Structure 1
Amino acid sequence: MSDDIVVDHLTKQYKKLRAVDDLSFSVRSSRVTGFLGPNGAGKTTTLRMLLGLVTPTAGNATIGGQKYTELPDPIRHVGAVLEASSAHRGRTGRNHLRMICRAAGLPDSRADEVLALVGLTPAANRKFKGFSLGMKQRLGIAAAMLGDPRVLILDEPANGLDPEGIHWMRDLLKAFAAEGRTVLVSSHLLGEMQLLADDVVIVAAGKLIRQGPVDEVLGSMGAAQVKVRTPQPAELTTALASLDGVTVAPQADGSLLISGTGAAAVGHAAFTASVELHELASERGDLEQVFLQLTAGMAGIR
């Protein structure tokens, strides 16, 4: 069975508020997909419909071709975290997970396995009331991993994590996808998403704004740039003036930042004009810059 997620013309209307508006996108297995949008864009509502927690007004959302509510053993197929884990304040992390195991027909030993996976073994016997927000996030992910699922759906999982924790989560999710599984993660940390995600789905005001591989989305907005160092900046600028759509911006460190073309074209222009180059490097675009361009004027509470 495929592990792809498919959102098909999904709509959710709350009286006068349309939280999700005819939204369609897909999430492929073996890849990490970032689900991005301003506050009030409809991301959490979409995830809740995907997990059967909210009934759509129209459209469908499926995981592996089935609605979540139709999966025969959902804990073994889908793991999800929509908010930091909650548990009885006086219960330890290990016992919290063991209770879930027993309800799902999983062996108690699985609790210790996922505690190790998320780095919580040293805190396994600590009571939940003493957990930091970052530890609660890790415990939530541990609970989502109990059934060894093929699909992970996470809403703002990096909330409360320190830089080391964010790096750990990046490695965990990349490794999960590398095993052929499916990862859909919502986040406001755009710099982290640029490092983590293979694909992005960008929504605003409940509608799809852009979907695709990160590099393609960046390239579509002209975000790719070329950094050049040369002792002949004026001559190189003149040589590049003949290329349509190319802009050259001098930087404070003496380099030139060139937009609208690639490194090969810049190198060829320099060679043809006999311009000496000391540095020629492609610079990946900035996802935050592209995100702000695509969603300009669409943020705000809905």
Structure 2
Amino acid sequence: MSTDEIVVEHLTKQYKRLRAVDDLSFSVRTGRVTGFLGPNGAGKTTTLRMLLGLVTPTSGQATFGGTKYVDLHDPLKHVGAVLEASSAHRGRTGRNHLRMICRAAGLPDSRADEVLTIVGLTPAANRKFKGYSLGMRQRLGIAAALLGDPRVLILDEPANGLDPEGIRWMRDLLKALASEGRTVLVSSHLLGEMQLLADDVVIVAAGKLIRQGPVDEVLGTMGTGAHVRVRTPQAAELKAALSELNATATEQSDGSLMVVGAEAAAIGHAAFTASVELHELATERGDLEQVFLQLTAGKAGIR
């Protein structure tokens, strides 16, 4: 097991008559962004709080490389987390807010300026927190989570309050952090964005695990994996050429062909060999939102 891998084992949380999390098990691999998805009331936030030792499980455990959060040495340097938009003293500047956290954690004040640069808040570093927009507060929260240069990052709805440019910035930042070998777990309702961001997904409903795996694999098991859109004035000839690849070409209402069972390069080669003229050849991924709705249909979130 990697020292940075998150492992959730038979995690359960019972609140009197309400079971918020029900025998939940999953893992989050290093070097990848994992999307934590589920309808409202699915138990996502409760699970994240148990991961961070803020809620005590009724049974089961959650660990980082085999160690519970409360047993980590210098947890800020191992795990960075944002469970809601950053809160701070309204009259304190963003820079001073971060410097206070640095001093409490034994980090140099200079680290505050470094993370302000990473999250794009340097121009607002000396503005008071009360003047920060929701998007700026999100960035400040992420800056705080990065202060210890953690190997694991846990974010709950980090795109709330961000404009389209900010969402793209967030996506690029999290992908870059994962590419450095960090473990990134992100909870979000923005399924279209999660399809662009996540390498893996963990889907829960009513406190239970519904599906886990790489995004393409999850899409594929629901019949919505990657496919190739082709446009050609010689559809019949292309279908004949593709039959040798054991690929299926289905004509769409717009006149294009949707090909399943062969990659774009193989389709292009088959068309070239058969002297078939192509006007379009594009790989399209399945729809994570469609899969999510299919998997969670009839599994109402816990209220």
What TM-score comes out, normalization by structure 1 length?
A: 0.90
8 Å contact 1:251–1:257 — kept in the other structure?
A: no
**Range that drifts further, 53-62 or 269-278:** 269-278
Structure-2 residue corresponding to 1:220: 221
Query: Percent identity among equivalent residues?
Result: 83
Structure-2 residue corresponding to 1:57: 58
Q: Are 2:99 and 1:114 aligned?
A: no
Structure-2 residue corresponding to 1:248: 250
C-alpha deviation, 1:263, in angstroms: 5.0
8 Å contact 2:26–2:212 — kept in the other structure?
A: yes
- For residues 300 and 261 of structure 2, the distance between their equivalents in structure 1, rounded to whole angstroms, comes to 28
C-alpha deviation, 1:259, in angstroms: 4.7
- For residues 133 and 302 of structure 2, the distance between their equivalents in structure 1, rounded to whole angstroms, comes to 28
Change in Cα spacing, 1:299 to 1:268, as seen in structure 2 (3 Å) is farther
Counterparts of residues 1-302 of structure 1 (less than 5 Å):
2-223=3-224, 224-233=226-235, 246=248, 248-252=250-254, 254-259=255-260, 277-302=278-303
Please list every run of 5 or more consecutive structure 1 residues that lacks an aligned counterpart in the other structure: none
8 Å contact 1:226–1:257 — kept in the other structure?
A: yes
Q: Per-residue CA shift, 1:171-195, capped at 9, x if unaligned?
A: 1111111111111011111111111
- For residues 92 and 124 of structure 1, the distance between their equivalents in structure 2, rounded to whole angstroms, comes to 6
Q: Per-residue CA shift, 1:229-254, capped at 9, x if unaligned?
A: 122446666888999995724233x3
C-alpha deviation, 1:260, in angstroms: 6.3
What SS does the aligned partner of 2:126 have? coil
8 Å contact 1:37–1:43 — kept in the other structure?
A: yes
Change in Cα spacing, 1:264 to 1:173, as seen in structure 2 (3 Å) is closer
Please list every run of 5 or more consecutive structure 2 residues that lacks an aligned counterpart in the other structure: none
Letter paired with 1:17 = L
What SS does the aligned partner of 1:110 have? helix
Change in Cα spacing, 1:251 to 1:76, as seen in structure 2 (3 Å) is same
Change in Cα spacing, 1:276 to 1:123, as seen in structure 2 (3 Å) is closer
Aligned length: 301
What TM-score comes out, normalization by structure 2 length?
A: 0.90
- For residues 107 and 267 of structure 1, the distance between their equivalents in structure 2, rounded to whole angstroms, comes to 56
C-alpha deviation, 1:167, in angstroms: 1.1
- For residues 170 and 264 of structure 1, the distance between their equivalents in structure 2, rounded to whole angstroms, comes to 28
8 Å contact 2:249–2:257 — kept in the other structure?
A: no
C-alpha deviation, 1:88, in angstroms: 0.8
8 Å contact 1:79–1:147 — kept in the other structure?
A: yes
C-alpha deviation, 1:279, in angstroms: 3.2
**Range that drifts further, 88-97 or 264-273:** 264-273
Change in Cα spacing, 1:266 to 1:27, as seen in structure 2 (3 Å) is same
8 Å contact 2:76–2:148 — kept in the other structure?
A: yes
C-alpha deviation, 1:269, in angstroms: 8.3
